C-alpha cells in the first residue's frame, strides 16, 4: 500500500498546488506516484494536461481528478497501485478536505514563515487533529534567515508541531516549471530549486516512516 500525502492549508496562494506538483515529479524518480486534484479550480489538472504534451516530462505520473463521496474510494484505489499518492486540496475546510485528510498518512501544510500563515492553518490543523492524522509543516517562500522565520520556528516548536527541516525559497524556477507542466527537477536538475525539492522529498519520506 502506498503512502498518501494530503497537501492542505486553508490559505490560498500558500503553494499547495505548486508543492504537490514538484514533490510528485521528484518522488516519481524511482517510485510510482499518483496526484489527485480535488480542488475545483483544477490547477493541478491543467498542469497535468500540459505535462502530458511536454517532451520534457521525464517522470511518469498518474493524474486523477475527483470530488465528493467517491473520493475515499479513489484514494484507496490509487494507494493500491502506487507508492505515493499526493492530494492537492482546495483552500477551504469542507467535506472533501475532511475526506482527503481522513485518507492521508501525512497532512503536509505549506506556509510562509510569517505568523498570519500559521493562523490561517488553524482550521487545517484542527481537522487533522480531529482525524488523528500526522502533520508536517513546510516553509515555502522562505527567506534563508529572518527574525520572523525564527520567531515562527519557535512558536511551532512550542506548540509541539512538526516542521520539516527543509524549506523552499521564493524562486521563479518553481513558477516557471509549473507553467510548463514540469517539475524543477526536470527543468533544471542542478538548480538550487531542484536541490530544495530533493531535500524536501528526503525529509518527507523520513516523516512518513
Ligand atoms: N516557492 C515559490 N517560489 C515562487 N513562486 C511560488 C512558490 N510557491 C508558490 N509559488 C507561486 O505562487 C502562486 C500560488 O501558489 P499555489 O501553489 O497555486 O498556491 P495554492 O495552491 O496554495 O493556492 C503560484 O503562481 C505558484 O507558482
Ligand atoms: Mg491550489
Which ligand sits closest to the CA of 90?
A: 2
Q: Is the CB of 197 under 6 A from ligand 1?
A: no
> Residue 196's closest CA among 178, 177, 169?
169
Report how far ligand 1's centroid is from the alpha carbon of 186 (Å): 18
> Residue 135's closest CA among 106, 111, 163, 110?
106
What's the pLDDT tens digit per position in 185-203?
999 999 999 999 999 999 9
| Alpha-carbon distance values, 148 to 2, 96, 155 (Å) | 36, 33, 10
Whole-structure pTM value: 0.97
What's the pLDDT tens digit per position in 51-93?
999 999 999 999 999 989 999 999 999 999 999 999 999 999 8
Give the separation between CA 175 and CA 110, rounded to whole angstroms: 15
Predicted local distance difference test score (pLDDT) of residue 145: 85
Give the separation between CA 16 and CA 21, rounded to whole angstroms: 9
In words, the CATH class of domain 3-208 is alpha beta
| Alpha-carbon distance values, 59 to 34, 48, 89, 188, 200 (Å) | 11, 12, 22, 14, 18
Helices (H), the chain: 16-27, 43-52, 71-81, 95-102, 115-120, 122-130, 147-158, 172-179, 184-187, 192-208
Q: Is the CB of 178 under 6 A from ligand 1?
A: yes
Give the separation between CA 69 and CA 52, rounded to whole angstroms: 28
> Residue 107's closest CA among 93, 74, 195?
93
Q: Would you list the domain boundaries of the chain?
A: 3-208
* C-alpha of 207 from chain center: 13
Q: Is the CB of 192 under 6 A from ligand 1?
A: no
What's the pLDDT tens digit per position in 5-47?
999 999 999 999 999 999 999 999 999 999 999 999 999 999 9
Q: Is the CB of 18 under 6 A from ligand 1?
A: yes
Q: Is the CB of 141 under 6 A from ligand 1?
A: yes
Residue with the nearest Cα to atom 3 of ligand 1?
Answer: 170
Which ligand sits closest to the CA of 8?
A: 1
The pLDDT mean for the chain works out to 96
What grid cell was written down for 41? 479550480
Amino acid at each position: 500500500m502506498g503512502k498518501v500525502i494530503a497537501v492542505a492549508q486553508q490559505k490560498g496562494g500558500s503553494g499547495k498546488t505548486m508543492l504537490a506538483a514538484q514533490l510528485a515529479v521528484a518522488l516519481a524518480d524511482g517510485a510510482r506516484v499518483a496526484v489527485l486534484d480535488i480542488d475545483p479550480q483544477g490547477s493541478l489538472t491543467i498542469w497535468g494536461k500540459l505535462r502530458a504534451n511536454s517532451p520534457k516530462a521525464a517522470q511518469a505520473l498518474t493524474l486523477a481528478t475527483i470530488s465528493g463521496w467517491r473520493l475515499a474510494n479513489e484514494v484507496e484505489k490509487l494507494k493500491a497501485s502506487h507508492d505515493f499518492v499526493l492530494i492537492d486540496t482546495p483552500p477551504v475546510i469542507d467535506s472533501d478536505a475532511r475526506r482527503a485528510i481522513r485518507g492521508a498518512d501525512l497532512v503536509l501544510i505549506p506556509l510562509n514563515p510569517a505568523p498570519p500563515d500559521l493562523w490561517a492553518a488553524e482550521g487545517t490543523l484542527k481537522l487533522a487533529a480531529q482525524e488523528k492524522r500526522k502533520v508536517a509543516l513546510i516553509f515555502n517562500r522562505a527567506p534563508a534567515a529572518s527574525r520572523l522565520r525564527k520567531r515562527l520556528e519557535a512558536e511551532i516548536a512550542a506548540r509541539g508541531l512538526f516542521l520539516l527541516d527543509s524549506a523552499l525559497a521564493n524562486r521563479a524556477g518553481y513558477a516557471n516549471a509549473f507553467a510548463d507542466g514540469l517539475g524543477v527537477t526536470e527543468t533544471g536538475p542542478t538548480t538550487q530549486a531542484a536541490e530544495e525539492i530533493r531535500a524536501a522529498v528526503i525529509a518527507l519520506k523520513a516523516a512518513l516512516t
